[in-house]
Structure 1
Amino acid sequence: MINKRLIRDFLYFPHLVIDAIFCYYYLGFWKPTWRLRGFPLIQKHRKAKILIGEKLILCSDPAKNSIGVFQKVIIKALNPSSNIKIGNNVGISGATISGRDITIGDNVLIGSGVLITDSDAHPIHPKDRNNAELIKNAPVHIEDDVFIGARSIILKGVTIGSGSVIGAGSVVSSSIPPMSICAGNPARVLKNII
């Protein structure tokens, strides 16, 4: 009996070549365990760092996600000091990851339409909004085994503890302890995972 994984890998081979060219062009590196379902949007300052582990899946194709995606996966590291780290075995569907200091652990699932940002994007006071030096930033850390539900927003300065689940449509503005189920706006702990 022929191994189904070998058949899938064989059928995926033409896409593998295109994925490799795309990733080398935009990131400067590529790993053969990555799978791109449609092309993501990757914007990177030439001095910024984007580090990605093995077995990454980026889904930008609405047909390849059970609830669909309304945008491509977007990864933006536009500041020269930007440092975005994505661990091993991470799946991202139509989400935006944008900032200077964002760390995503291993075995993380990021649902369709999620926004992860470590910045306010502009100052709060109207008189200061054209002054980029006054933009507030704080690192975002998403630990191992986290699942972030569709359309959630993860804001600056947040750490999501390992094994936690963020309910769909949540706005996470403060850190979440490990092994928690959280939801709401602002997100709060509903119960612990035992």
Structure 2
Amino acid sequence: MQQLDEQDYIRSKLFSGDRSAVRRYADLVVGPGASYWQLARYELITMLFGRVSGALGLVLRKLFYPRLFRRCGKGVVFGRDLVIRNAHLISLGDNVVLDDGCVLDGRGAGPQGVTIGDRVILGRGVSIQAKIGPITIGADSDIGMHTVIHSQGGVEIGRAVVMGGGCKLSGGVFQTVRSAGTTAGSEMLQREQTRWTKGPIRIGDKCLIGMGATFLDGVEVGEGAVIGAGSVVIRSVPAYAVAAGVPGRVLRQREEAPALAPAAGAAR
């Protein structure tokens, strides 16, 4: 396992040094070192256009929201009441759909950032937050409403993944160590906690994930696997396996579809 650096977490960034509340707010929503002009632009765009309903709102957000992002492809649909933070670390592909109430926060994604591929649909209320490590969602994937994707070590979701509503992907491991009564050191040491990761959570191409499934730190789900609703995946699942349960376990392997016989009278 790799220990995560507490200096990379938002608490350390917000409360280190003597800074004004406005400066801390700018660091939180726009990014460390953001100018007050960048903060004003963010506030104006989200305040004026974020809650406008109907076709007018879609048109206005299509015109102005792309200016916030590292990259924004063609034909992106921005729903109402989006929470967008550290958008300079977020890239959107062509024809992405962000339904109402989604949260996109790239604050700890690093240089790789948060990348959402072409034709990805994020259902209503999906939360994507890079605490530490990048997040990637491959093209043509559907992420069900109110799913939570938080990286502490990274998250990689492949192409053409279908994920039911209410799923949770959250990396990171807490270790608790009793101190000898001292309160010196960092805040996490005062809490008698340290944070670690086994590596990214990886979901392979063409996986089908049932509603409410949970994925813990460092697991890998192979291509074409099926995960049952409500499962808690604490260990890796091989490609084309069917897994379910708490904790999740492999039930069987998916069989290949039989080759189709030629139709009667077909030319030979």
**TM band (smaller chain):** 0.7 to 0.9
How far does residue 125 in structure 1 lie from its aligned partner after superposition?
Answer: 2.2
Structure 2 letter corresponding to 1:15: L
Against the structure 1 CA distance between its residues 53 and 157, is the aligned structure 2 distance closer, same or farther, given a 3 Å change threshold?
same
| Aligned partner letter, 1:36 | L
CA distance in 1 between counterparts of 2:55 and 2:93 reads 14
In 1, the alpha carbon distance for the partners of 2:57 and 2:116 equals: 22
Q: SS of the residue aligned with 1:103?
A: strand
Structure 2 residue aligned with 1:98, among 140, 143, 150? 150
Indicate how the Cα distance of structure 1 residues 96 and 20 shifts in structure 2: closer, same or farther if over 3 A, else same. farther
Check conservation: 2:118, 2:138, Cα contact below 8 A: yes
Q: CA deviation at 1:179?
A: 0.5
The match for 2:194 is 134
Q: Is the 8 A contact 2:108 2:130 kept in 1?
A: no
Counterparts of 1:144 and 1:24 in 2: how far apart (Å)? 31
Residue 19 of structure 2 corresponds to none
Aligned to 1:7: none
Alignment of 1:29-178 (within 5 A): 29-45=91-107, 48=110, 49-60=113-124, 72-79=125-132, 82-93=133-144, 94-99=146-151, 100-120=153-173, 123-125=174-176, 127=178, 130-131=188-189, 134-137=194-197, 138-178=199-239
SS at 2:196 equivalent: coil
Measure the CA separation in 2 of the matches of 1:190 and 1:89: 27
Q: 1:15 aligns with which of 46, 58, 71?
A: 58
Name the structure 2 match of 1:63.
none
State the structure with bigger RCO (CA 8 A, min sep 6), 1 or 2.
Answer: 1
How large is the Cα RMSD of the aligned pairs?
Answer: 2.6
TM-score by length of 1: 0.76
SS of alignment partner, residue 178 of structure 2: helix
| 1:44–1:153 distance in 2 versus 1, CA, 3 Å | same
**Post-superposition offset of 1:74:** 0.6
Which residue of structure 1 lines up, in the alignment, with residue 41 of structure 2? none
Residue 30 of structure 2 corresponds to none
Q: Percent identity?
A: 26
| Structure 2 residue identity aligned to 1:140 | I
| 1:18 Cα offset (Å) | 2.2
Q: TM-score, normalised by structure 2?
A: 0.57
Runs of 4+ in 1 over 4 A off after TM superposition: 11-14, 19-24
* 8 Å Cα contact 2:109-2:135 kept in structure 1: no
Instruction: Give yes or no for contact 1:19–1:36 (8 Å, CA) kept in 2.
Output: no
Alignment-mate amino acid for residue 144 of structure 1 = D
